[in-house]
Amino acid sequence: MKTTSPEWGVRNWIQLVIFTLTVGIGIQFYLFVMQAASGGDITIARPGSVEGFLPIGALIGWKRFALTGEWDIIHPAAMVILGFAVVISLLFKKAFCSWFCPVGTVSEWMWKLGQKIFGKNFKIHPGVDYPLRGIKYLLLAFFIYITGSMSADAIYGFMQSPYYKLADVKMLHFFTKMSLLTAIILGILVIGSIFIRNFWCRYFCPYGALMGIFAILSPTRIYRNPETCIACDRCTQACPSYLPVSRKNRIDSPECTGCLDCTNVCPVEQTLQFQSGLRTQKAWKTPVVGIAIVLIFVGMVYAAQITGHWQSRISAHEFSMRLKMIDSPEVAHP
Ligand code: SF4
Ligand code: SF4
C-alpha cells in the first residue's frame, strides 16, 4: 500500500499527551503497590484511572448497574472509562481507538515506523483479512457471553472475591512479571504492527470490536462529495483501516476510527467531511473533535470524582493486607 500520511496534528498531540499520562499513571500505581507491599506508611495515592485496563470488570460492572442500579465500588473508574469510550463511539465512530487509547497510539507509532523503514505498510489478502477481523468479534462474543451468563448476585460475589479486589495488581504483574509466553505473544503483536496498520486493533481487540458496534449507531460519518472529488486516491492511501474512501460516498464501516486522516489529506476543500446526518449540516473539523473528546473525558472524570464514582472504596490498609496474598491460589485467575 502506498504512503500518504497527514502532517502531525491535533489528534497526534492528544494521543501523545494521553500516552504520557498513561505511562505516568502506570509508574504511580507501581510505586503505590511497592509501598503497600513494604508494609510501611502509604503516601502515594492509588490512581483510579489505572482501572481503564480492566475492561471485563467494567463490563460486568455495567451489567450489574443495569440490573440493580448499584455502582461497582471496587473498581468504579473502570465503568467510567468504558462509559466514556461508548459515549465517544456514539458521537464520533471509533474515535476512542484513534484519539485516546494508548494501545492504539503505540500501534499507530509501530506502523508509521514500518512505513519509514519499508516505505509502505502491507495489506493482507482479503480472503485472510476478513476471517482474521472476525477474531476480535469472537473474543467480544465470549466476554459478552460470560457477562450475560452472570446474575447480579454472581457479579456481586465475584466483585467481593480476593481476585477481583487485586485485579489491578494482576494486570500490573502481567507487564512487570511477564511470562515467556506473554513476551512471545507481545513480541509477535509488536512485529506484526510494524508491517500491518493497527495489527492488534484490526484483528484482536475486543474493546475496539465493542466500540465498533456502538459506532454503527453513531450519526456521524465520513461523507465524500463525488462532484468535487478529483479521484486522487489520497484518502484511501491514508486510511489506517484500509477503507476504500475514494470509492464510497459515505463510510458506514464499523472499522472507521474517526481519525480524520482522510479528510486531512484531501486536497479539495469541502469534499471529504466528517458530518452528523445530512450533507447540508456543518462538518466536524479536526480541532473541534479533539476539544470535544477532551472536554467529555475531563467532564466525566470530574463528575465521577465529585460524586464518589471514581475512587475505589478499598482502603490502603485493606489493600496492603490483601497484597500479601497476591500469589496464593485463592487470588489466582478464575
Ligand atoms: S475513513 Fe477516514 S476517519 Fe475513518 S478510519 Fe479511514 S481515514 Fe480515519
Ligand atoms: S482525497 Fe479527496 S479528492 Fe482525493 S480521492 Fe479522496 S475525496 Fe477525492
* Residue range 281-296, pLDDT digits in tens: 678 999 999 999 999 9
5 within domain boundaries: no
Q: What residue owns the CA closest to ligand 1's atom 1?
A: 256
Taking residues 64-87, report their average pLDDT: 97
Residue 92: pLDDT above 60? yes
Residue 325's pLDDT band (boundaries 50, 70, 90)?
Answer: confident
Query: Residues lining ligand 1, judged by CB closer than 6 Å?
Result: 222, 238-241, 243, 245, 251, 256-262
pLDDT tens track for 198-234: 999 999 999 999 999 999 999 999 999 999 999 999 9
CA gap 35, 129 in Å, rounded: 46
Name which residue sits closest to atom 4 of ligand 2, judged by CA: 232
Which of 99, 112, 241, 276 should be mutated for ligand 1, with most atoms under 8 A from CB? 241
CA distances from 119 to 2, 110, 122, 251 (A): 8, 13, 10, 27
Q: How far apart are the first and last CA of the chain?
A: 43
Distance from C-alpha of 189 to C-alpha of 237, rounded to nearest angstrom: 23
* Average pLDDT value for residue range 100-104: 96
| Closest C-alpha residue for ligand 1 atom 6 | 239
Residue 22 belongs to a domain: yes
H helix runs in 150-219, sequence order: 152-159, 162-165, 167-176, 180-195, 199-203, 206-216
User: Does residue 1 fall inside a structural domain?
Assistant: no
pLDDT of 1: 45
d(CA 166, CA 330): 11
Give the model's pLDDT for residue 157. Answer: 94
Does 275 reside within a domain? yes
Q: Ligand 2 atom 1: the closest Cα is on which residue?
A: 266
> Which residue shows C-alpha cell 457477562?
147
Residue whose Cα lies nearest atom 8 of ligand 1: it is 259
Residue 4: inside a domain: no
Q: Residue 2's pLDDT is what?
A: 46
In whole angstroms, what is the distance from residue 280 CA to residue 208 CA?
30
Q: Which amino acid is at 69?
A: G
Distance 316 CA to ligand 1 centre (A): 44
Closest residue by CA, ligand 1 atom 2: 262
pTM for this structure? 0.92
Spacing, Cα 234 to ligand 2 middle (Å)? 6
User: Among 236, 249, 272, which is best to mutate for testing ligand 2, by the most ligand atoms less than 8 A from CB?
Assistant: 272
State the pLDDT at residue 330. Answer: 75
Is 150 touching ligand 2 by the criterion CB < 6 Å?
A: no
Per the CB < 8 A criterion, the answer to whether 51 and 77 are in contact is: yes
Q: At what angle do helices 206-216 and 76-92 cross, to 10 degrees?
A: 50
- Secondary structure of residue 251 in the 3-state scheme: strand
Distances in Å between the alpha carbon of 104 and those of 81, 229, 267, 319?
Answer: 15, 30, 27, 31
Q: Give the pLDDT confidence score for residue 317 in this predicted structure.
A: 86
Cα(236) to ligand 2 centroid in Å equals 8
Categorize the per-residue pLDDT at 329 as very low, low, confident or very high, splitting at 50, 70 and 90.
confident
**Bigger pLDDT: 277 or 51?**
51
- What's the domain count of the chain? 1
Residue 27 forms part of a structural domain: yes
Residue 283 three-state SS: strand
Domain with 156, as residue range(s), is 10-331
Q: Nearest C-alpha to atom 2 of ligand 2 is from which residue?
A: 266
C-alpha span between 60 and 145 (Å, rounded) = 11
Place of cell 500501534: 107
Q: In this structure, what are the phi and psi dihedrals at residue 326, rounded to the nearest 5 degrees? A: -55, -30
Whether residue 239 is contained in a domain is answered as yes
Q: What is the pLDDT of residue 71?
A: 97
Whether 304 contacts 310, CB under 8 Å? yes
The least confident of 28-32, 36-40, 171-175 is: 36-40
Helix spans in the chain (H): 10-38, 55-68, 76-92, 95, 102-118, 126-148, 152-159, 162-165, 167-176, 180-195, 199-203, 206-216, 234-238, 261-265, 286-306, 316-323
Phi, psi at 222, each rounded to 5°: -80, 125
pLDDT of 107 > 80? The answer is yes
**pLDDT number for residue 321:** 87
- 238 touches ligand 2 (CB under 6 Å): no
Is residue 3 domain-resident?
A: no
For 129-159, the pLDDT digits (tens) are 999 999 999 999 999 999 999 999 999 999 9
Nine-digit cell string for 36: 503497600
Mean pLDDT of all residues in 64-74: 97
CB 221 within 8 A of CB 251: yes
Distance 79 CA to ligand 2 centre (A): 39
Mean pLDDT over 321-331 rounds to: 82
β-pair type (272-276, 250-251): unpaired
Question: What's the rounded mean pLDDT across residues 187-201?
Answer: 96
Q: How confident is the model at residue 8 (pLDDT cuts 50, 70, 90)?
A: confident
